[in-house]
Amino acid sequence: IAGITQAPTSQILAAGRRMTLRCTQDMRHNAMYWYRQDLGLGLRLIHYSNTAGTTGKGEVPDGYSVSRANTDDFPLTLASAVPSQTSVYFCASSTGTGNTGELFFGEGSRLTVL
Amino acid sequence: GQNIDQPTEMTATEGAIVQINCTYQTSGFNGLFWYQQHAGEAPTFLSYNVLDGLEEKGRFSSFLSRSKGYSYLLLKELQMKDSASYLCAVMDSNYQLIWGAGTKLIIKP
């Protein structure tokens, strides 16, 4: 079934540890995104990539890094996790062309930093 | 700054009609989106409006007034499965999506 796969679905992490959230899509979409979703707030963009080989910073990029070595994969890394990074993280993709902008989301990764 | 406002929570009765409002102030406008998100799941696309007026898609309709910075999502013949959060998002002049916090819709029998 075509779509976006995220891993892990849930993780508890000690503060200071490094963590990579994986995201893979098989729809050959150009654009990919990482969002975090916190209670009472809208989805906030962390980083994005308009096409393989390029990345950009979103609204809340500090403490996170991404890479886009190929079309399918867009991992998100927390170099040294802090409790404020406790959140649900969603990876998304879109065709990246035109204004329709429909996003396809993964099922989310729930991260708890203690 | 950029801002999307929508009610935090609404309650409606099965079989009835509910209207979820969204007002926005953004740097430019390249379309407004509605997404549905069931608890613990990913958001899924419902509708896209870029011109003023009403777009109808089955039981769901979405309206846009660009001059008023206003949209609503209309859900008819409510079903229990419509219990979810409804997210309003606006694409700004940089083609970035600005998201509202979402409206949690509770359907009662």
**pLDDT over 90 at A47, yes or no:** yes
Residues 6 or more apart whose CB falls under 8 angstroms from that of A32 comprise A23, A25, A48, A49, A68, A74, A91, A92, A93
**pLDDT over 60 at A98, yes or no:** no
Nearest by CB to B101, from A42, A103, A106: name it. A42
Nearest by CB to A102, from B41, B48, B99: name it. B48
A39 to chain B, minimum CA–CA distance in Å? 8
What is the residue-averaged pLDDT of chain A? 93
Handedness of CA B24, B27, B29, B32 (dihedral sign): negative
The chain B residue lying nearest A97, using CA atoms, is B95
**pLDDT over 90 at B96, yes or no:** no
A93 to chain B, minimum CA–CA distance in Å? 12
Identify the residue among A60, A102, A109, A110 best suited for mutation to test binding to B, counting B beta carbons within 10 A and taking the highest: A102
- Chain A neighbors of B89, CB-CB under 8 A: 42-43
A99 to B91: CB separation less than 8 angstroms, yes or no: yes
pLDDT tens digit sequence for A82-96: 999 999 999 999 986
Nearest by CB to B91, from A42, A101, A108: name it. A101
**pLDDT over 90 at A18, yes or no:** yes
The chain B residue lying nearest A98, using CA atoms, is B95
pLDDT tens digit sequence for B43-57: 999 999 999 999 999
For range B102-107, the mean pLDDT: 97
3-state SS of B45-88? EEEEECCCEEEEECCEEEEEECCCCEEEEEECCCCHHHCEEEEE
B14 to chain A, minimum CA–CA distance in Å? 26
A107 to B41: CB separation less than 8 angstroms, yes or no: yes
Measured CB to CB, residues of chain A less than 8 Å from chain B are 40-45, 58, 90, 99-108
Give the model's pLDDT for residue A77.
Answer: 98
